[in-house]
Amino acid sequence: MSKVLGLTGDGAVAYAVKQCNVDVVAAYPITPQTLIVEEFSEYVHNGEVHTEFVCVESEHSAMSACIGASLTGARVFTATASQGLALMHEMLYIASTLRCPIVMGVVNRTLSAPINIHCDHSDMMGSRDCGWIQVFVENAQEAYDWVIQAFRIAEDPDVLLPVAVNLDGFILSHSLEGVRVLDDEEAEKFVSTRKPVLTIDPDKPITVGAICFTDFYFETKRQHVDAMDNSPKTISKVNDEFAELTGRRYGFIDTYEMEDAEAAIICLGSTAGTAMAVAKSMRAKGKKVGVIKPWVYRPFPTEQIIKAVENLKALAVLDRACSVGAPYGPLCSDVIAALYREGIKLNLFNVIYGLGGRDIRPTDIEAIFNEALEVAKTGVIKEPLKFVGVRE
């Protein structure tokens, strides 16, 4: 029997980890992630879990400890944000290429300078090609649900890749919501016990992370790519089983009012909820608009996005990060690449918004929808890349 608890986004992540029989948590505090490991440390102190909680001196050390623990066959979790994720950057690649199924909560926060503790997606976008499966959530319920699913996905023998579950800093991390949680027994049964394929063992020594030059390095990276290519089957399977258990269905993307939409917005994270509310209001006025929300960002859901946009006349791609010096933001670049690969010509433009935690208001979203509708009508794109909400 499930129950509803009042949890912040960070609290929802900590509660999910508590229910997943995690063996080791190694972490370093950083705003706005600190509440995750702080609340989990209370579970450890209270004896509610039997997890080894490793307090380290930096985020680089946290990921290093997680890698070592994971290689022994332990189930491992960590969490970070912003500069902490940047400090982990070296170790993110090592974790994924060594096929360590670590789960990490990333509470998205802008990167300095100047110093800022509020939300944008520049931290994860700076590591978007690190070989981790990456999920973005809209609310605390989704954060809870995806963390539980993440352990199953990461530890599948056909995948064996780490998973990052991203939630917007403060907007989700510190906002209290009603979250429907599983009973401990249900969650424990769903995630089961990790069954490692290979482990480091003093009695049966193996070499891990050896020097690998021109002879075999390329092959290891190709195997890494193959593992990511295998992951969609596992993600879908886990999504289906979770839906059977909870009634809450997930996939690679979520869509709203896309069946007959002429113009749409695609965006990640909490902004999707605002966009859906605005779309509902505009639909009541007869305007055919819709919303696409990718849950899974890596592997990029090309097939699902292509299907979602097949009847569109215009698309606005919203990025809460900018790729300085590039033609478009990261999400927009991926969308364009996906469309080009399939030979689809769709009028689209890129909107950079919300950097450093700047609010995007419903009126801003409505204006973007109206611009997309105008593009759908005329086929003319006045600004391929625009900044919304920035002071001139």
The verdict on 28 and 111 lying in the same domain is: yes
Average the pLDDT over 132-153 and give the result.
Answer: 98
| Average pLDDT of span 257-266 | 98
pLDDT above 70 as % of the chain: 100
* Residue 1 pLDDT exceeds 70: no
Both 377 and 267 in one domain: the answer is: yes
Same domain, 233 and 281: no
DSSP 266: E
Q: How high is the pLDDT of residue 30?
A: 98
> 15 and 126: one domain?
yes
Give the mean pLDDT of the chain: 97
For residues 74-91, average pLDDT: 98
Same domain, 289 and 312: yes
pLDDT digits 0-9 by tens, 20-39: 999 999 999 999 999 999 99
State pTM to two decimals: 0.98
* Same domain, yes or no: 264 and 175: no
Do 97 and 70 meet the contact criterion of CB atoms below 8 Å apart?
no
Domain finish residue from 194, 218, 246: 246
Q: Over 70: is that where the pLDDT of 392 sits?
A: yes
* Phi and psi at residue 54, to the nearest 5°: -105, 115
- Given 224, 246, 268, the domain boundary residue is 246
- Whether 240 and 257 map to the same domain: the answer is no
Q: What percent of the chain has pLDDT over 90?
A: 98
The range of the structural domain enclosing residue 359 comes to: 253-388
Residue 158's pLDDT is 96
Q: Model confidence at 9, in pLDDT bands (50, 70, 90)?
A: very high
Q: Are residues 185 and 43 in the same domain?
A: yes
Does residue 80 sit in the same domain as residue 209?
Answer: yes
Helices (H), the chain: 9-18, 34-45, 59-71, 82-97, 122-125, 140-155, 184-191, 217-246, 271-283, 302-308, 330-341, 362-378
The residue-averaged pLDDT of 60-84 equals 98
CATH number at residue 229: 3.40.50.970
CB burial string 247-256: b at 16+ within 10 A, e below: eeebbbbbbb
- Domain tally for the chain? 2
pLDDT of residue 361: 97
Whether 53 and 40 have beta carbons less than 8 Å apart is answered as yes
| Whether residue 257 sits in one domain with residue 242 | no
What is the pLDDT, as a whole number, of residue 73?
97
Residues 343 and 362 in one domain: yes
Q: Which of 223, 246, 269 is the last residue of a domain?
A: 246
Average pLDDT over residues 2-19: 97
| pLDDT at residue 329, as a whole number | 98
229 lies in the same domain as 274: no
